[in-house]
Amino acid sequence: MTVHQDKALVLLSGGQDSTTCLYWAIDRFGQDAVSAISFDYGQRHRIELECAETIAGDAGVEHCCLPIDTFAALGGDALTDPSVDVGNDVHPSTDLPNTFVPGRNLVFLTYAAAHAYQHGIDHLVTGVAQTDYSGYPDCRQQTMESLQETLRLGMESKIQIHAPLMDRSKKETVELARDLGVLNVMARTHTCYNGKRPPCGECPACRLRAKGFAEAGIEDPLENA
Amino acid sequence: MTVHQDKALVLLSGGQDSTTCLYWAIDRFGQDAVSAISFDYGQRHRIELECAETIAGDAGVEHCCLPIDTFAALGGDALTDPSVDVGNDVHPSTDLPNTFVPGRNLVFLTYAAAHAYQHGIDHLVTGVAQTDYSGYPDCRQQTMESLQETLRLGMESKIQIHAPLMDRSKKETVELARDLGVLNVMARTHTCYNGKRPPCGECPACRLRAKGFAEAGIEDPLENA
């Protein structure tokens, strides 16, 4: 069922998960009611933002990109700091992966909610998942529920956070993309933590993606892109 | 009672309220355990950040300033946008004051929590108050409680948000500064929304400040600065 009266804003990173969510939102809310938001937070690989822009354009939805210079100033994280190695290493002072920026998703969703507030949008859609859980506490269902309450109180809004992949495995996310008829779009998404295209195949993000496609018995279109 | 084992981070804007909170924190946690954080979010009046730096220096606490370029990109708000008049006007699409940046305090506190996480600090101190309530839903007790829960879940931390002014009127905040013996420090704080020094005396912030000192029967040292 397509609900046309409500508007939705999709947090689009340019990766497989958020791209699948974009089409989930289009399916649910209708293309005209959907827009997308990305964040330029100094990620080492500009290709992510280029993918997001291309994907939003191909989907025919409005797209805006907000700058965030604060993460780089907070410093010390693998996704923004070239001095930190990416891999399976964990953060020296915690047992979280070293790609963890504390509260990153909380910040993204709060900014998305502020943008939504200004544009009369009541629905946020995010690709976070707790299934193939990689150690990010800001991706869990309980955190999302608490954040939704915080945003509603703090902005006096009726904002609703949708996380359609929350309980889906990577395999099930691939199957969702298939069911939505957008497997071909996956060729334009970016996953690799090392910013390689074709992907490095070695980093945790590449391996998780490959596992998802393998388990779904579907060839990753990215391989042939 | 001074508790020395715990570290506290004070969100310091350079204004009367957060400066009073800084000394509240020093009184409670001990000077060595306290540090301060400010945010350079493109406020029109740089004097605020200069005040914060001076005040932290005078108090002998570490001070860091994080840049936030995102609010200006979100746009359209009186505190960052020179095209918007400051005054008693309300936002055209809401009944909130036009100085309201949606979710501003949520963002500040989330970044402060991230900084605290990285530095082993469990206590955040903020000058928000719901008493002389000026229409900011992100300053209320209920919002702070929900945000604390969100930050704890999202960062797997034991962060605690203290808002010592939450239920104090401006009069009582002035009295707290007097009881802490730091009325003289108030001469170095900045309040005026119009960035004037001496203050304009006309904007809502100036009038609220004047009312607080008048009701406490104490002369504002800023007047003679």
pLDDT in tens, B54-82: 999 999 999 999 999 999 888 755 445 55
The Cβ of residue B135 has, within 10 Å, a number of other Cβ atoms equal to 15
CB A112 within 8 A of CB A151: no
Task: For A39, name the nearest residue in chain B, comparing CA atoms only.
Answer: B70
CB A103 within 8 A of CB B110: yes
Which one of B70, B96, B146 has the shortest CB-CB distance to A150?
Answer: B146
Model confidence band, residue A223 (pLDDT cutoffs 50, 70, 90): low
Decide: helix, strand or coil at residue B204. Answer: helix
Task: For B94, name the nearest residue in chain A, comparing CA atoms only.
Answer: A118
Whether CATH 3.40.50.620 fits A8-185: yes
Q: Chain A contacts of B113, Cβ < 8 Å?
A: 102-103
CB A124 within 8 A of CB A113: yes
Q: How far A182 CA sits from the closest chain B CA (Å)?
A: 31
What is the C-alpha to C-alpha distance for residues A138 and B33, in angstroms, rounded to an integer? 28
| B68 in contact with A, Cβ within 8 Å | yes
What is the C-alpha to C-alpha distance for residues B190 and B19, in angstroms, rounded to an integer? 10
- Size of chain B in residues: 225
Per-residue burial over B21-33, b if 16 or more Cβ lie within 10 Å, else e, is bbbbbbbbbbeeb
Burial class (CB in 10 A: 0-12, 13-18, 19+), B95: exposed
Per-residue burial over B40-67, b if 16 or more Cβ lie within 10 Å, else e, is bbbbbbeebbebbbbbbeebebebbebe
Q: pLDDT averaged over chain A?
A: 86
Candidates B64, B68, B70, B148, partner chain A, best to mutate (most A CBs within 10 A): B70
| A110 in contact with B, Cβ within 8 Å | yes
**Nearest CA to B10 among B170, B187, B164?**
B164
Cross-sheet strand order for the sheet of A123-125 = A62-67, A34-40, A8-11, A123-125, A160-162
What is the C-alpha to C-alpha distance for residues A38 and A30, in angstroms, rounded to an integer? 20
| Lowest-pLDDT choice from A26-40, A52-66, A194-208 | A194-208
So what's the architecture of B8-224 in CATH? 3-Layer(aba) Sandwich (3.40)
Domain boundaries, chain A: 8-185
| B102 in contact with A, Cβ within 8 Å | yes
What is the C-alpha to C-alpha distance for residues A173 and B44, in angstroms, rounded to an integer? 46
Q: How far A200 CA sits from the closest chain B CA (Å)?
A: 29
Task: For B109, name the nearest residue in chain A, comparing CA atoms only.
Answer: A107
Q: Chain A contacts of B96, Cβ < 8 Å?
A: 156
| A208 in contact with B, Cβ within 8 Å | no
Is residue A10 pLDDT above 60, yes or no?
Answer: yes
State the count of interchain CB pairs (< 8 A) between A and B. Answer: 118
pTM of the model: 0.88
Which one of A70, A110, A138 has the shortest CB-CB distance to B67?
Answer: A70
Tens of pLDDT, residue by residue over B96-133, are 444 456 889 999 999 999 999 999 999 999 999 987 65
pLDDT of residue B133: 56
Tens of pLDDT, residue by residue over A35-70, are 999 999 888 778 889 999 999 999 999 999 999 999
Which one of B96, B143, B156 has the shortest CB-CB distance to A150?
Answer: B143
Which one of A70, A76, A154 has the shortest CB-CB distance to B103?
Answer: A154
Which one of B73, B102, B117 has the shortest CB-CB distance to A66?
Answer: B73
H-assigned helices in chain B = 16-29, 47-59, 70-74, 104-118, 141-155, 170-179, 204-216
- Size of chain A in residues: 225
Question: Quick check: A103 and B113 CB within 8 A?
Answer: yes
Model confidence band, residue B174 (pLDDT cutoffs 50, 70, 90): very high
